[in-house]
């Protein structure tokens, strides 16, 4: 069996790299966006073994501030060849900065920043080899025979025991609830449409989307990394959704409620989310703050400028 990991990898690389922060007494830098990710990844299962192929050319944007002067600077990080041919610790990471002062920030990104980038790339590769490949190794003849023997023994022991009430099997996942609020320079109608009109969702998410903005309708965003279903929509007031990220436990959904509250000249968006897996809390916050709120604000500014 073979699975294409390209789309999954693009989402995972964005999740792993964007938002990385490094800081010292001179300044603070953060990887602000994924400018380019070109390449492919796949995984195949042969004779009970997994074989990985990946080759990536990645460009990241970073921004920083010098603590003493408050001066801000921007730059690029280029990873020209992340592949199975090289160890992560040997992967080339090139840091550059726009002309002008601020070399202390460039030095910070070259040292601590490069180390954190390589660590994040290692996290992506671990996830590729564990999370993405779940269920890919097919049982060999020997393991299939063992399973059959175990099943036979279980059925024999069940026959000898008195009948017991069968309880459905399942795993309870520890979850948390999130509450976030954000102010937008837009009326409720405009903000509501950004969450329910396919073209606008594609603009702020910078990726293809599937959207059926009606009760029971399905949605898919960020190259399939976010999927779900609309539970309820109250035009210009509220949206309730079943929501899951691709790397969450299978079939697990959170409930996301968006309330649109008009204020003078603005709209306050209140986000309530229940059922987020504990280990994914920070990722969920990042997803909403960086990939939704900040990108939507950028889109609103752009449309205002264009009149």
Q: What is the pLDDT along the chain (307 residues), one digit of tens a residue?
A: 788 999 999 999 999 999 999 999 999 999 999 999 999 999 988 777 888 999 999 999 999 999 999 999 999 999 999 998 888 999 999 999 988 778 999 999 999 999 999 999 999 999 998 888 776 554 444 444 554 555 555 555 545 544 444 444 445 678 889 899 999 999 999 999 999 999 899 988 888 889 899 999 999 988 888 999 999 999 999 999 999 998 888 778 999 999 999 988 899 999 999 999 888 888 888 889 988 999 999 888 877 666 5
Domain that holds residue 268: 175-305
| Domain end point (choices 69, 103, 129) | 129
Question: 282 and 185 share a domain?
Answer: yes
Please state whether beta strands 49-66 and 72-83 pair in parallel, antiparallel, or not at all (unpaired): antiparallel
Give the span between the Cα atoms of 256 and 292, in whole angstroms.
Answer: 13
Question: 97 and 187 share a domain?
Answer: no
Question: 116 and 180 share a domain?
Answer: no
* pLDDT given for residue 154 in this prediction: 58
Looking at the 3D structure of the chain, how many domains does it have?
2
Domain for residue 118, yes or no? yes
| Domain end point (choices 129, 144, 165) | 129
Give the span between the Cα atoms of 287 and 178, in whole angstroms.
Answer: 12
* pLDDT given for residue 168 in this prediction: 45
Question: 48 and 123 share a domain?
Answer: yes
* pLDDT given for residue 170 in this prediction: 45
* pLDDT given for residue 152 in this prediction: 58
* pLDDT given for residue 305 in this prediction: 64
* pLDDT given for residue 307 in this prediction: 59
**Over the stretch 229-272, which tens digit does the pLDDT of each residue have?**
999 999 999 999 999 998 888 778 999 999 999 988 899 999 99
Domain for residue 160, yes or no? no
204 C-beta neighbours (distance < 10 Å), count? 22
What is the CATH number for 217?
Answer: 3.30.530.20
Domain for residue 159, yes or no? no
Contact predicate 110/94, CB 8 Å: no
Question: 28 and 119 share a domain?
Answer: yes
Query: For residue 110, what is the DSSP state?
Result: I
Is the pTM here over 0.85, yes or no? no
What is the CATH number for 81?
Answer: 3.15.10.20
Residues with Cβ within 8 Å of residue 273, at least 6 apart in sequence: 177, 178, 179, 243, 254, 255, 256, 257, 284
């Amino acid at each position: 069996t073979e699975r294409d990991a390209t789309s999954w990898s693009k989402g995972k690389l964005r999740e792993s790299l964007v938002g990385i922060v490094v800081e010292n007494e001179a300044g603070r830098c953060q990887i602000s966006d994924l400018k380019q990710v070109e390449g492919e990844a796949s995984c195949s299962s042969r004779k009970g073994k997994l074989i990985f192929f990946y080759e990536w050319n990645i460009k990241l944007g970073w921004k920083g501030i010098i603590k003493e002067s408050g001066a801000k600077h921007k730059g690029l990080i280029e990873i020209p060849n992340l592949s199975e041919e090289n160890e992560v610790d040997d992967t080339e990471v090139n840091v550059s900065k726009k002309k002008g002062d601020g070399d202390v920030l460039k030095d910070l990104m070259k040292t601590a920043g490069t180390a954190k980038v390589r660590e994040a790339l290692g996290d992506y590769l671990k996830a590729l080899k564990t999370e993405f490949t779940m269920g890919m190794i097919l049982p060999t003849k020997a393991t299939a025979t063992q399973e059959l023997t175990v099943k036979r023994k279980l059925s024999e022991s069940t026959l000898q025991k008195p009948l017991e009430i069968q309880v459905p099997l399942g795993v309870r996942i520890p979850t948390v609830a999130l509450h976030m609020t954000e102010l937008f320079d837009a009326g409720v109608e405009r903000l509501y449409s950004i969450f329910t009109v396919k073209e606008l969702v594609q603009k702020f998410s910078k990726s293809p989307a599937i959207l059926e903005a009606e009760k029971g309708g399905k949605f898919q965003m960020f190259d399939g990394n976010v999927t779900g279903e609309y539970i309820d929509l109250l035009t210009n007031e509220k949206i309730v959704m079943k929501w899951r990220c691709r790397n969450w436990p299978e079939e697990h959904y959170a409930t996301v409620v968006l309330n649109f509250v008009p204020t003078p000249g603005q709209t306050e968006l209140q986000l309530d989310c229940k059922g987020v897996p504990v280990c994914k809390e920070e990722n969920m916050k990042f997803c909403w703050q960086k990939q939704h709120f900040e990108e939507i604000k950028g889109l609103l500014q752009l449309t205002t400028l264009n009149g």
